Structure 1
């Protein structure tokens, strides 16, 4: 039995590596925002488009690419998406102006959407039923690992050398991951091709609707504020710019712990796991401009912020697996919402921060967390098969 399971667990690791690099690629500009803005001669709000563009492209790629490829083996699709990531990262590293950099980020967005749409529902096809929760925790651990390793190390590399070097390194690691995916994944023909009508059908299920809307409120709110975490730490908490990369390591480490805790808790209590997320984010982000006004308290709030947001992916995906009529279609829909929310959040945050201030931007984000919390509170826990004690 062990010999039969080992190859499939290597496949799970390969998918986790892909998620890790995709999230790193999407969020890396957050840590390098000040560098790129200065080098390209744009405002921080304009530089935030490096997060908005791939987020929006990924949002539309997530539901449309699985439809477009039809019955294409998912192993081939996942590998191709990583190859597209290689090209997008390489072009980002050599872009001569900001317009070309944004064009390269379009390719990054395509790979993110196409990969995530399949990866989120693949665990049940790789491991036995009683191992699915562990496989999902590992796969979505790539999201938190991107925060603890990818984005911070990319930021440190960019600070020590140049932001272009960070994007080039990302391209090299993406190439290695594409090879691993091809070698380790088994053939994965789709059980049923995803049709556009299937995506709409998922919304007829109340559990899916609540998951979609709550994810939208939480992710938009998060990126309204977190896109500008570098200036937040510097201007509100008094942290020197040279320490931002190191502090993002702490943020990511907290995110990994949050992902692990959520993976264990959400399997038994998906309703409560999802409810806790906007509730805690509301408190942390709302008080940050008032409480986090010196380095120590700012860092503590940053770590709590990371732990809570690190639990989002595995908690919501567990909710989806409990409620969705078609898990691959629902996962593609969730990938659309998640990535569109990243793009919208970064764009809205850029407009707010350029026209008002960092504290107001954080309070605007808190308002979105409040909406997410109220939505879950209005939903009966029996929707996901959970009863209050």
Structure 2
């Protein structure tokens, strides 16, 4: 029981961290007005922590290789809580960006370390379920934390929303102090291990590429969903509720994907890309109808809700023996893509038009369909394998055990 309480404490920490990173998405308009910057410039509040987290994920993992993981996680969640409280009282945009920089360090380091903790917290037979719960914190933050923060910001002001997330971070810190056991490092990784995984593992390379396309495309559009909803005739008072629709659909997408990826991993990725591209394009045709808008956001949320668990599963299956290094790369690309998407969307909104952001996002995600279909055919023929492996030992069979590993399990 204590192990599961520790799992939930880590999950709460990831939920608070990811909500913190993405909170500005739903509050760009009031944030820009309150800090005297354009909506495009306000998008830097998503770009900065994303870029920093992308660098921090591998660096924190390597730098803290000899330190008790419990101590590192508690320190990182404390930094996040303090940075959000500082944002709530900041008097300038520059100070907010400094706080967002610190949040990026916390997000990248915490996520990369927390991904492999389940095996140390619960019995082996529960590791898969515990891992899903931990990464569910990422998903729930994207689809529930941000809409809830938006509603708080709409009713009480954006500073109150940041303050609330800061308090949530401190609550997470207290939970981890009392519930997490000592987690002495078992095996540290070196920086040289990271490019080695990319160089030798085709499945990891493809998974990282898919992460780049899907996440960059999503956040190019989603970072500026509020301005696009307003441009589509939606009243500001309805946006928080509509984002909750997005969140509720996302939770459904997470469970649906969880049921599909065991046997249909590649097909699930293709389905996600198709749904996301269609939903982003449809956002530009909204005519003020709450029912139509809710349906489009539900479709979008359904697709994005399936993304984190699907892509994380792809990476773990591609590199079961080097999961820590591969997960570090995945976290790095995930956060880098958040930053690039917010930056690209901001440039599009400021220099082209508000509606250009979802179209660019849809185009990026659609590239996934082109990139993955040939790979899927190759995989079916046993062509995607890591260097030095035979076809039967390769990761071409993503979605099912390889011949070698299946034999090991049988023995």
Q: 1:73 to 1:19 in 2, by over 3 A?
A: same
How far, CA to CA, are the matches of 1:247 and 1:95 in structure 2? 29
CA apart distance, 1:268: 3.1
SS for the counterpart of 2:67 is coil
Tell me the SS of whatever aligns to 1:71. Answer: coil
Given the alignment of the two structures, is residue 375 of structure 1 paired with residue 388 of structure 2, yes or no? no
Cα distance in 2 for residues equivalent to 1:386 and 1:195: 29
| 1:385 equivalent among 362, 376, 398 | 398
SS of the residue corresponding to residue 118 of structure 1 reads helix
Aligned partner of 2:208 in structure 1 is 212
2:40 aligned partner: 45
Shift of 1:292: 6.3
Return the structure number with greater relative CO, CA threshold 8 A, min gap 6.
1
Give the direction of change, closer, same or farther, for the CA distance of 1:32–1:290 in structure 2 (3 Å limit).
closer
RMSD: 1.6
Structure 1 residue ranges without an equivalent (≥5):
1-5
| Structure 1 residue aligned with 2:292 | 297
Aligned to 1:270: 265
Residues 147-186 of structure 1: pairs in structure 2 closer than 5 A: 147-186=142-181
Task: State whether residues 143 and 301 of structure 2, in contact with CA within 8 Å, keep that contact through their aligned partners in structure 1.
Answer: no
Deviates more, 1:288-297 or 1:306-315: 288-297
- The 1:53–1:385 alpha-carbon spacing in structure 2 relative to 1, beyond 3 Å, is closer
TM-score scaled by length of structure 1: 0.94
TM-score by length of 2: 0.89
For residues 191 and 267 of structure 1, what CA distance do their matches in structure 2 show? Answer: 29
Which one is further off, 104-113 or 137-146? 137-146
Counterpart position of 2:248: 253
Bigger mean CA offset, 185-194 vs 83-92: 185-194
**Cα gap change, 1:268/1:7 in structure 2, threshold over 3 Å: closer, same or farther?**
farther
C-alpha displacement at 1:141, in angstroms? 1.9
- Specify every segment of 5 or more residues in structure 2 that has no aligned partner in the other structure, as ranges: 383-395, 401-411
- 2:153 and 2:159 in contact (8 A); partners too: yes
Q: Kindly report which structure 2 residues correspond to 1:127-166, keeping only aligned pairs within 5 A, or say none.
A: 127-166=122-161
1:290 match: secondary structure: coil
Offset, 1:264: 2.4
Farther off after superposition, 369-378 or 202-211: 369-378
In 2: Cα distance, 1:333 partner to 1:281 partner:
24
Count of residue correspondences: 381
Measured after TM superposition, the shift of residue 209 of structure 1 is: 0.4
Give distance in 2, aligned partners of 1:218 and 1:350: 18
Report the Cα distance in structure 2 between the residues aligned to 1:201 and 1:298, rounded to whole angstroms.
Answer: 46
Contact 2:139 2:308 in 1 (8 A): no
1:283-339 deviation line (CA, Å, top 9, x unaligned): 221233236663321211111111111111111111111111411111111111000
Q: Which residue of 2 aligns with 1:285?
A: 280
Change (3 A) 1:125 1:160: same
